[in-house]
Chain A
Amino acid sequence: MINPHPGLPELEYVKPATLVEASQFLAEHNGTAKPFSGGTDCFVRLRDGVLKVDYLVDIKGLDGTKELSFDPKKGLTIGAAVPMNKVATNKDVIAHYPNLAMAANSVASYQLRNRATIVGNICNASPAGDTIGTCMALDGVLNVHGTDGFRQIPLNSFFLGPGRTVLKPGDVVISITLPVPPAGMVGVYKKLGRNTIGDLSIVGVAVLGYPNSKSPSGYTFRIALASVAPVPFEALKAEALLSEKKITEETIAQAADIAMESVTPIDDVRGSARYRKLMVRNLTREAITEVWNQLSK
């Protein structure tokens, strides 16, 4: 039965002044409190009754959450409270991580992106998260504050299942750091939605590549896929092939086939498993080809 009268439940809004206070509160209210930033996901889920909490803990304003800075050695740091539109229009992002700007611009609508954040997108751990794949391929590391203080979690060991991560009670993700991209990196994000804007991904494909003299093929490729597995998925076997074999149209097609074989999508209202698998192959092929065309120029 569909709930005909969804509505926001009564809940308390908590705005801690310090990270320590935030972690402490969240730890003390494990299961009944949730950190939030833009709220674009959690308010909808609260209204629909999918998410049930007593406290929403606003992390905007905590130390480091508003940071958006690029350091030529350390890379890019994006605070948990930085909206996607700010990321996508930042000149350092456009200069050094254009694929991240592309992925961010594919999320929902412009209006939503004034609130939605990349860290929020990651923490929701939706298999459909559009910015996650690119952050994974860029070897992103999350900066987390918990009851034991600060620690870092690499993104590729962050997800456990749909909506589930390795975060522990009391953890607040302050920011994500993306290391300086490898020299000569080219990256794209391909999103397939039902209509042009505002949709969730049926399939999302993030691909980046760069010259690497240690690879037999002379290049390294990274391929991350959205909406086709329980967690955002890196197609390691396809990446390996592209590192080992000379890059040709045939190799690219093979890599795309391998990517397709490696995913286990589901049938849902947005698309069938069969279509999703074929789209993983086609969009991966398109994305690798686009990256390769630029790399081999």
Chain B
Amino acid sequence: MANAKSKEKPSSPIGASLQRNDVYEKVTGSAIYVDDLQFGNKLLYAHVLRSPHPHALIKSIDTSKAEKLPGVKVVVTGKDFPERMGLYLKDKTIFALDRVRFIGEPVAAVAAVSEEIAMKACDLIEVEYEVLEAVFDAEYGASEKAPLIHPQLGEYYCPNYLFPKPGTNISNHFKIRRGNCEAAWKECAYIVERTFHIPHIQHVPIETHGAIAMMDEKGKMTIWASSQSPFAQRNIIAQALHITQTDLRVIAPLVGGGFGSKAGVTMEAIPAALATKCKGWPVKLMLTREEEFFTNFVRQGLTTHVKVGCDKDGNILALKNVMYWDAGASTEYGANVVRAAGYSSSGPYDIPNIETDSICVYTNHPIGGAYRGFGMSELHTGIDQAIDELAEKAGFDKVTFLKKNAISEGDIIVTGMKMHAMGIQECIDNVAKSIEFSKKEEPTSPDRVRGKGIAIMWKAPATSPNPGSSAWVELAEDGKVTVGLGGQELGQGTFTVMAQMAAAALGVKYEDVRIAGPVDTQYSPYEWQTVASRLTWSMGNAVRAAAADARRQILDVVAEAWKENPEDLDIVNGVVVSYKSEKETPLANLVIYGLPRENNGGWIGGPIVGRGSFMPQYITNLDLETGQGPRAVVHYTVGCEGLDIEIDKNTGKIHVIKAAASFDVGKAINPELVKGQIEGGFVQGLSSALFEEIRLRNGVMTNPSFVDYRIATAPDVNFPLDVPFVEVPQDDGPWGARGVGEHPMVPTIAALGNAIYNATGIRLDGPPYSAEKVYLAMYDAGLTK
């Protein structure tokens, strides 16, 4: 009875390096991105008039000349859309109202029948400014001397886990007071104090931001956007425009690079605002590369003062971090980066006494938003380099020191939560072995010096306390499966991983699962945002639940028809089998039409639709003064990176000989994709460590192009990179999986800084470790002529 199909040994799609399900479209170029969408000859083009001043009052705006220009459909300014918006702290408006706060801030916008006319109309808008004193330094900005950038801070909506200080430029001051640092310093045999500066950097997605918005005659709006957050955009933009969420539909085609820049709302609200004034006309805005650089989210700058001490046996006793974040003109999103860095400020170390002040400061710089790592790269750049020096000072081999002080399962961590099982010791061992960390090696040329560096990290998904995921699973007559989800494919491979999970949970082949895309808030189930390395874990839990729900429905139908117990049935490669009666039937048809009862007794079942949702329900807020609470985060992903480098004594150029990155991913659902994420993250981390820096002079970005904002390209990463992963299962993750999307770029700056120190004895005060910076430091120290 049983045919060959169901007898094939089912190979689990979980843990298999299956081919990506979007590979054909992406390789052939047929994949659809937002700029590919066609809107016919009614399409209007938007242009934005932007502030030329870092800080000024708007005295008047005259749009009359622009409005009269033939071809102009709409001109809007701040007074048309006064509602404040933001993902966390609602401190920004779509257009500046009475004050501009950074160079590039939108002041007005035009929709016209051509780009040229829209641009010309912007030139005709007359704005009178009164220039104000600006703030370009976070520590100064936090002081009483600085002019106020948001005098109305006290009136803004703010969630109860952020702590703004009205009457200052501080929009969030997150504190940890754990143990007693003051007493602990006296017990320390060795103390290291260091200050580091981490510059602003930019995400530089190859696809710049773009969005098209159209409102129909009845007031229902559709936005097509290159987006990591279609649902968050629906929520935030609907509120800003005073329409209901149901009347705002966001359609999000594939994304050509996000890295956090396309999370929350940035420029998408501009075409939406214009579209409300020209119903029936689609309005399109694509950012130029220059706009991408200086008008959109950046990674905020940081100055961090680190003090860390240990006893004579090498036990770290106390850590103090004072972090001033140069968060820019709005901190609606960035205020939570500051919080995340605060509640994780111990790093993956077991330290009994911790004092942290993580201070989010408004400045007249571009707006800081989410950036791969969400504060963790900056935090670890400070603590991991200070601890590197502490190990040396205390006379310890670095690996021994790290392993001795690394967090363990059951430890009470910085916020008072108990640490879960994870494999940081194994990560450290993997990296130390891979780059032969303890082996001192000679440089390959007398013109070079050689050194090795290592750093560990942790990161938790940084979100609101209750970010939800949901999914549905349905089947067609052919027995194949379609999965509905709201998380976005950013290149990380999430559609592939979700198909693998659905296939495994349902009992079908991976090849027989499709993802319903593009994500469309009208048809796709809710997903908070594609951020925080959370999809494999959170959306994975929802997809797994939806597939299990569909499976349960199918087995109930078959069990009833066969008069068997569902416990004796299974679905294998798309065929329902009974281990008891050895009967079998394919999923085809039965998942739509059900099965007939015996003796013409009617039918059982009907179309199968499985549903699943997931939301962490165990996150609690932390005490305002101490940062302590039962559970600040869902879990942490930990890891370690190391580099073996040489520095050219004649130029200061750094050459990586070998590198290793080991992360505890819980369970690698698709090992090849995990490897790709780790390699890509390491390269982005190295790029930020060697090259990347937004050069700001009086609020002006002086390098807003790829000519002078350098990023790593393939020839810069021409070295072996070893990525052995560790798999200690996560209790709340599907098949034990946890996220690893952001983590690989988190410890890279610190690991490289430690390698430079190892090679030269010089501790530089922050990235980028450009050839010039390294050479001049060596020259001034007399290490090279």
Using a CB–CB cutoff of 8 Å, the interface residues on chain A facing chain B are 1-7, 192, 194-200, 202, 269-272, 274-275, 278-279, 282-283, 285-286
**How many A-B Cβ pairs are below 8 Å?**
75
Interface of chain A: mostly helix, strand, loop or mixed: loop
Are B710 and A195 in contact, with the CB atoms below 8 A?
Answer: yes
Residue from A6, A199, A272, A279 in contact with B651 in the complex, judged by beta carbons closer than 8 Å: A279
Are A2 and B776 in contact, with the CB atoms below 8 A?
Answer: no
Given contacts A194-B691, A195-B716, A196-B716, contact A282 B119 (CB under 8 A): no
Are B651 and A282 in contact, with the CB atoms below 8 A?
Answer: yes
Residue from B104, B288, B701, B776 in contact with A274 in the complex, judged by beta carbons closer than 8 Å: B776
Encoded as 1 (CB less than 8 Å from any A CB) or 0, chain B from 464 to 507 comes to 00000000000000000000000000000000000000000000
Residues of A within 8 A of B295 (CB): 4
Are A269 and B708 in contact, with the CB atoms below 8 A?
Answer: yes
10 contacts between A and B (CB under 8 A): A2-B294, A4-B288, A5-B47, A194-B770, A195-B710, A197-B715, A272-B776, A278-B775, A278-B779, A283-B651
Are A195 and B712 in contact, with the CB atoms below 8 A?
Answer: yes
Residues of B within 8 A of A274 (CB): 776
Q: List 4 additional contacts besides A192-B651, A200-B707, A279-B651; criterion CB under 8 Å.
A: A196-B713, A270-B708, A282-B651, A286-B650
Are A195 and B290 in contact, with the CB atoms below 8 A?
Answer: no
Closest residue to A276 on the B side, CB-wise?
Answer: B772
What is the size, in residues, of chain B's interface with A at 8 Å between Cβ atoms?
Answer: 39
Are B771 and A3 in contact, with the CB atoms below 8 A?
Answer: no
Are B650 and A1 in contact, with the CB atoms below 8 A?
Answer: no
Q: When A and B form their complex, which 9 residue pairs have the shortest distance between CB atoms, in order from nearest?
A: A196-B715, A282-B650, A1-B52, A275-B772, A4-B291, A194-B710, A269-B708, A196-B716, A195-B710
Are A275 and B776 in contact, with the CB atoms below 8 A?
Answer: yes
Residues of B within 8 A of A275 (CB): 772, 775-776
Given contacts A269-B702, A282-B651, contact A5 B776 (CB under 8 A): no
Closest residue to A10 on the B side, CB-wise?
Answer: B116
Residues of B within 8 A of A195 (CB): 690-691, 710-713, 716
Residues of A within 8 A of B650 (CB): 282-283, 285-286
Residues of B within 8 A of A197 (CB): 713, 715
Residues of A within 8 A of B52 (CB): 1
Residues of A within 8 A of B103 (CB): 1-2
Which residues of B in the span 680-732 have a Cβ within 8 Å of any Cβ on A? 690-691, 695, 700-704, 707-708, 710-713, 715-716, 718
Closest residue to B289 on the A side, CB-wise?
Answer: A6
- Expressed in whole angstroms, the Cα–Cα distance for A275 and B775 within the complex equals 8
Are A3 and B290 in contact, with the CB atoms below 8 A?
Answer: yes
Given contacts A1-B103, A194-B771, A269-B703, contact A199 B290 (CB under 8 A): no
Are B294 and A271 in contact, with the CB atoms below 8 A?
Answer: no
Residues of A within 8 A of B771 (CB): 192, 194
Encoded as 1 (CB less than 8 Å from any A CB) or 0, chain B from 14 to 35 comes to 0000000000000000000000
Which residues of B in the span 746-777 have a Cβ within 8 Å of any Cβ on A? 770-772, 775-776
Residues of A within 8 A of B713 (CB): 195-198
For residue B48, CB closer than 8 A to chain A, the reply is yes
- Expressed in whole angstroms, the Cα–Cα distance for A4 and B776 within the complex equals 35
Q: How far is the CB of B698 from chain A (nearest CB, A)?
A: 11
Closest residue to A192 on the B side, CB-wise?
Answer: B651
Residues of B within 8 A of A4 (CB): 48, 50, 104, 288, 290-291, 294-295
Q: How far is the CB of B652 from chain A (nearest CB, A)?
A: 8
- Expressed in whole angstroms, the Cα–Cα distance for A199 and B710 within the complex equals 8
- Expressed in whole angstroms, the Cα–Cα distance for A47 and B649 within the complex equals 39
Residues of A within 8 A of B707 (CB): 200
Q: How far is the CB of B619 from chain A (nearest CB, A)?
A: 40
Q: How far is the CB of B167 from chain A (nearest CB, A)?
A: 32
Interface centre among B47, B290, B295, B702 (most CB of A within 10 A): B290
Closest residue to B773 on the A side, CB-wise?
Answer: A275
Closest residue to B700 on the A side, CB-wise?
Answer: A2
Interface centre among B295, B713, B715, B772 (most CB of A within 10 A): B772
- Expressed in whole angstroms, the Cα–Cα distance for A1 and B704 within the complex equals 11
Q: How far is the CB of B748 from chain A (nearest CB, A)?
A: 16
Which residues of B in the span 286-332 have a Cβ within 8 Å of any Cβ on A? 288, 290-291, 294-295
Residues of A within 8 A of B288 (CB): 4-6
Interface centre among A3, A194, A271, A274 (most CB of B within 10 A): A194
Q: How far is the CB of A172 from chain B (nearest CB, A)?
A: 28
Are A2 and B701 in contact, with the CB atoms below 8 A?
Answer: yes
Residues of B within 8 A of A3 (CB): 290
Interface centre among A2, A196, A282 (most CB of B within 10 A): A2
Which residues of B in the span 585-625 have a Cβ within 8 Å of any Cβ on A? none
- Expressed in whole angstroms, the Cα–Cα distance for A283 and B651 within the complex equals 8
- Expressed in whole angstroms, the Cα–Cα distance for A285 and B775 within the complex equals 16
Residue from B290, B653, B690, B770 in contact with A6 in the complex, judged by beta carbons closer than 8 Å: B290
- Expressed in whole angstroms, the Cα–Cα distance for A74 and B776 within the complex equals 46
Residues of B within 8 A of A6 (CB): 288, 290
Q: How far is the CB of A27 from chain B (nearest CB, A)?
A: 32
- Expressed in whole angstroms, the Cα–Cα distance for A118 and B569 within the complex equals 74
Q: How far is the CB of B258 from chain A (nearest CB, A)?
A: 21
Which residues of B in the span 416-454 have a Cβ within 8 Å of any Cβ on A? none
- Expressed in whole angstroms, the Cα–Cα distance for A274 and B291 within the complex equals 32
Residues of A within 8 A of B708 (CB): 269-270
Residues of A within 8 A of B711 (CB): 195
Residues of B within 8 A of A1 (CB): 52, 103, 700
- Expressed in whole angstroms, the Cα–Cα distance for A148 and B708 within the complex equals 42
Are A271 and B47 in contact, with the CB atoms below 8 A?
Answer: no
Residues of A within 8 A of B701 (CB): 2
- Expressed in whole angstroms, the Cα–Cα distance for A4 and B122 within the complex equals 12
Residues of A within 8 A of B115 (CB): 7
Residues of A within 8 A of B104 (CB): 2, 4
Encoded as 1 (CB less than 8 Å from any A CB) or 0, chain B from 648 to 687 comes to 0011010000000000000000000000000000000000
- Expressed in whole angstroms, the Cα–Cα distance for A197 and B700 within the complex equals 27
- Expressed in whole angstroms, the Cα–Cα distance for A4 and B708 within the complex equals 16
Interface centre among A6, A195, A279, A283 (most CB of B within 10 A): A195
Closest residue to B290 on the A side, CB-wise?
Answer: A4
Residues of A within 8 A of B710 (CB): 194-195, 199
